[in-house]
Amino acid sequence: MVFTPREHAIKEIAETLAVAPCKEPELSNTQRSDMFGRDVFNMRAMRERLPKGVFQRLEQTIKNGAQMNPSDADVIASAMKDWAMERGATHYTHWFQPMTGTTAEKHDTFLTPTSDGQVISQFSGDMLIQGQPDASSFPSGGLRSTFEARGYTSWDPTSPAFLISGPLGRTLYIPTVFYSYTGESLDRKTPLLRSEDALSNQCVRLMRLLGNTSVTGVQVMIGVEQEYFLIDRRLYMLRPDLILSGRTLYGARPLKGQELEDHYFGAIPSRVMAFMQDAEDQLFALGIPVLTRHNEVAPGQFEIAPVYESANIATDHNMLIMEVLRTTAERHGFACLFHEKPFTGVNGSGKHNNWSLRDSNGYNLLEPGDTPRDNAQFLLFLAAVLRAMHKHPETMRIGTVGASNDHRLGAHEAPPAILSVYLGEQLTSIIKAIAGKQDGSPSWGSRTMEIGVSILPPMPIDVSDRNRTSPMAFTGNRFEFRAGGSSQSVAPINIALNAAVASALDDISSDLEKSIAAGVPLLKAVQDLLARLFQEHEPIIFNGNNYSEEWKKEAQRRGLPNYSNTVVALEQYSRPDVMKVFCSHGVLSERELLARQGILIENYVRTVSIEAQVALSLGRTSIMPAVLSWQKDLADLILSTRQVVGTDTPMPEETVFARLRSHSTALIEELDKLEAVWNELNTIEEPIKAARFARDYVLPRMRSCRAEADALEEIMDNRRWPLPSYEEMLWLN
Ligand code: ADP
Ligand code: MG
């Protein structure tokens, strides 16, 4: 018997599935902890290798952004090169995050030819600090035309350099920012760094008003939970839709999905376990503190989360985690899928962003404190987040746009596109009391604390009833933003969060400054301001079920916007009030913002256009031939059977044939309609119009093609179906 490619893949998987014998762990815990950060040119390595003065000045640069002098840069570059070459590095690369959403790199060798025909290793301060990749094909949104294609990369000393092993040796990776010759940002790191500065400044300003004289800065801390799917690579290779567009464009619902919830937190399959351990060892060596691993809700879905770090580093680390997972999966015979919705009808993947603020004394500003002053401060920062979310929902929504995330947001598996904040009942009742909206004295324990004139409770925040449906949940000492997509960089979300909160803090400090100038005692001024803020922003608080239909209506009543898809969200980008949030704090200039809007719109159109082409080609060249050959066999069977049984005998085979033919005819027609709209899409010149057309005409036509194909998959000869099924992809690991 001849195997079809699908059967061949399944046979091979069955043979490799056999569980490898249990091994002693390769690394002891001590060895593992010694390994932590082994491949990173971190503070420890720098302290060991740099002259004391140089190290101290570099530390100042890292901590306070002090300018670095060129002679120090030469010393650092030379130490970095020696460290890397001792560990087998032959090349270095400036590693950056252009607006394609991924990372980019261009490798250069450390070796430079000399005039006498030899080579010497060379790496100067200039080479460390600045690079000039030929970057003409990275998106710039018109900030750089091809004739002036220069883009520059510049070392970001706050994120340490690291080594990556490839098949042919090791490379030194230097995290950099990427900008045009006019100095405008072409990446996602620059605005992130700017937004952290803006927020830090506003935090310090408010804390000074509250009498804190010791704080010098505030760091944004984030912990990123990364979800992903793992499927067998042999099946993946038979799915051009997964390879080219990251998601399945066809595929009948699996016979068994997540109904039994038997995958969630279940035992991790041994092959997957081997992959995870391998990936974690590499991440450990890269100084990425991986904390948890577990199965997720859908079959074949998993999550990895490192311990939280400063936002810039955590963002770089998330990019690295994705890269390490991807390459490790390949080596273990898997394909790692980061798309938000690889399988229709099965839960998609998100990326939760846990966000908090840490002051230079190590204190978490989102942690309720013990003294009245601490609590006043906590409540003011809480109010700032509420104000930011209530006043600037567009800003946050822009951080989550993308054709792929549209399949997930609001689809009863991820928060809706309507932004609201979950605080839990206890904190909400405190806030209502401060706002003067709660009758009688609320019942809280015996310990009370005072802010100004009113009596307030201590704040043991109850985190037990965490609401999984909220896009922005307070979880005791941090906010968890849950609308981000698994394939997306977390930079845009944090840029938006930081900018919006900085803007809210700015309002809050200005208000306080005015009251103080008018002679109002500080605590009284805080008390009054909190009451006003909590009154104004109460509508953004929602502790109920965000997935429900009632919430949609309620949110509308409260005036909370619902930018339900990427295109409407992107249309808000150029609104003056939205741009002001970024511009007035120096996070992004108007030109940079409009460039970004342009890139994101274009990206949306391209994504949908590629999907349409793949759907068309797969439908016509793989699915239809299989269907028609089965249809022909059925027709032959009916003719020959009819000869045998005679004309009077009813033949149920004819019903099967009729059903098959009705769907196959419909699929042929739907594919033609899809082609027609795709052709029309290509004639639309104005990007935003093309985006609207892609959303309103191309995507629905793709869904119609899919409906017919999926119906066919359910009744076809399984052996002849050209694509691996959902069951096979989701359960064979
Ligand atoms: P969940 O219950 O949401 O799945 P996890 O334990 O998987 O939570 O992930 C929580 C993430 O939040 C981790 O990355 C963790 O380090 C991070 N985290 C914990 N405390 C803070 C904090 N104060 N600020 C930011 N992130 C934090
Ligand atoms: Mg979470």
Per-residue pLDDT reduced to its tens digit, 497-509:
999 999 999 999 9
Residue 422 Cα, ligand 1 centroid: separation in angstroms? 16
What pLDDT score was predicted for residue 449?
A: 37
The overall average pLDDT reported for the chain is 89
CA distance 70 to 56: 15
Structure tokens at 364: 């978490």
What pLDDT score was predicted for residue 109?
A: 87
Angle between helices 491-517 and 189-209 (to 10 degrees): 20
| 3 state DSSP class of 105 | strand
| 3 state DSSP class of 287 | coil
CA distance 571 to 615: 27
Residue 183 Cα, ligand 2 centroid: separation in angstroms? 37
CA 688 to the chain's CA centroid: 24
Using left for φ > 0, alpha for ψ between -120 and 50, and beta otherwise, residue 402 falls in left
Q: Cβ atoms within 10 A of the Cβ of 361, count?
A: 9
What pLDDT score was predicted for residue 141?
A: 76
CA distance 344 to 406: 12
**Residue 571, φ and ψ in degrees, nearest 5:** -65, -25
Measured over the CA atoms of residue 62, residue 68, residue 73 and residue 79, the dihedral's sign is negative
What pLDDT score was predicted for residue 441?
A: 45
CA distance 662 to 641: 21
Report the half-sphere exposure of 471 (CA within 13 A, side-chain side): 30
Ligand 1 mutation pick, 354, 466, 467, 493, max ligand atoms within 8 A of CB: 354
Nearby residues for ligand 2 (ion, Cβ within 5 Å): 225, 352
Between the CA of residue 645 and those of 631, 648, 656, what are the distances in Å?
A: 21, 8, 17
Atom of ligand 1 nearest to the CA of 223: 14
Nearest CA-CA partner of 144 in 118, 99, 181, 107: 181
pLDDT below 50 — which residues of the chain? 18, 146-147, 439-455, 464
CA 59 to the chain's CA centroid: 30
Which residue CA neighbors atom 17 of ligand 1 most closely?
223
Residue 243 Cα, ligand 2 centroid: separation in angstroms? 28
Which residue CA neighbors atom 16 of ligand 1 most closely?
307
Which residue CA neighbors atom 1 of ligand 1 most closely?
225
Structure tokens at 339: 């798309």
The secondary structure of the chain in percent helix, strand, coil, rounded to multiples of 5, reads: 50, 15, 35
Return the H-helix or E-strand segment holding 292.
Answer: strand 290-295
Return the H-helix or E-strand segment holding 309.
Answer: strand 309-310
In this prediction the pTM is 0.92
Sequence-distant (6+) residues with CB within 8 A of 545 are 467, 469, 551
| 3 state DSSP class of 178 | strand
Q: What is the DSSP string of 576-612?
A: HHHHHHHHTTTSS-HHHHHHHHHHHHHHHHHHHHHHH
Alpha helices in 210-294 (DSSP H): 233-236, 240-245, 270-285
What pLDDT score was predicted for residue 708?
A: 98
Q: How many helices (H) and strands (E) does the chain have?
A: 25, 20
Pocket of ligand 1 (CB under 6 A): 221-223, 225, 291-292, 305, 307-308, 352, 354-356, 364, 477-478, 480
Q: Minimum-distance ligand to the CA of 354?
A: 1
Nearest CA-CA partner of 424 in 351, 380, 480: 480
Between the CA of residue 627 and those of 239, 632, 669, what are the distances in Å?
A: 17, 9, 14
For domain 195-248+255-446+459-588, give the CATH superfamily.
Answer: Glutamine synthetase/guanido kinase, catalytic domain (3.30.590.10)
The residue to which tokens 């294609």 are assigned: 149
Q: Minimum-distance ligand to the CA of 356?
A: 1
In angstroms, how far is the first alpha carbon of the chain from the final one?
Answer: 26
What pLDDT score was predicted for residue 323?
A: 95
Which architecture does CATH list for 603-731? Answer: Up-down Bundle (1.20)
What pLDDT score was predicted for residue 631?
A: 97
Identity of the residue numbered 733 = N
pLDDT tens per residue across span 58-76: 998 888 777 888 889 999 9
Between the CA of residue 263 and those of 176, 258, 299, 349, 587, what are the distances in Å?
A: 40, 7, 6, 15, 42
Atom of ligand 1 nearest to the CA of 477: 23
pLDDT tens per residue across span 595-614: 999 999 999 999 999 999 99
The yes/no answer on whether domain 36-185 falls in CATH 3.10.20.70 is: yes
CA distance 578 to 425: 31
Residue 351 Cα, ligand 2 centroid: separation in angstroms? 8
Q: Minimum-distance ligand to the CA of 365?
A: 1
What pLDDT score was predicted for residue 443?
A: 42
What pLDDT score was predicted for residue 375?
A: 85
Burial of 517 (0-12, 13-18, 19+ CB in 10 A): exposed
What pLDDT score was predicted for residue 445?
A: 38
Which residues does residue 89 pair with via DSSP β-bridges, in sequence order? 170
Domain extents for the chain? 36-185, 195-248+255-446+459-588, 603-731
